[in-house]
Amino acid sequence: MSNKRFLRSVRLLAQCYQSFERLSGRHLRELGLTPAQFDIVATLGNLEGLNFRELGERTLITKGTLTGVIGRLQSRGLVERFPNPQDGRSEMLRLTTAGNDLFARVFPAHVAHCQQAFRNWSGGDFDDLNARLTRLRDALSAPDLASAGPHSSPQD
């Protein structure tokens, strides 16, 4: 594999991610949410609750950011904490009634907004994309990459 081909592909992947983030983020701001707030509302939607660890594992939000975003959602009356019934030492999080109402309103609207970018895609296009993204995800999380070390270099 040549470095030029690899770097072109990585650049295209980054550009796709950035373009999707702009498309999504702009719409979420119109809905009155940040991307992190939407991620939490969407993750907690239709659930009885999650603890902080579970919420962190299911979202794209770093642990350090999660506490602040939860606090802002709580201050807006959208998320509440309650004792974990399985472990009295920890807390669970869930949407309030207002949070559930927000989820019911914004989640389908946001999905429909983002789907517009894919309106000309066929089922085969999605199958191909899913197969390639799965292959990429698996390659990026391969255990042998972690042990490759900093001085390993790809073969041309």
Long-range residue pairs from 40-43, CB within 8 A, at least 24 positions apart, any chain: 40/66, 40/69, 40/70, 40/73, 40/79, 41/73, 41/78, 41/79, 41/95, 41/99, 41/102, 41/103, 41/106, 41/107, 42/103, 42/107
- Does the predicted TM-score (pTM) go above 0.85? no
Which residues lie closer than 8 Å to 41 by C-beta, 6 or more apart? 33, 73, 78, 79, 95, 99, 102, 103, 106, 107
Provide the residue ranges of all domains of the chain, joining segments of one domain with +: 34-127
* Statement: 34-127 belongs to CATH 2.60.40.420: no
Binned at pLDDT 50, 70 and 90, residue 89 comes out as confident
Between 147 and 106, whose confidence is greater?
106
State the Cα–Cα distance between residues 66 and 57, nearest whole angstrom: 11
Amino acid 111: pLDDT: 97
Amino acid 156: pLDDT: 38
Query: Which tens digits make up the pLDDT trace of 32-88?
Result: 999 999 999 999 999 999 999 999 999 988 888 999 999 999 999 999 999 988 887
| Percent over 90 (pLDDT), the chain | 80
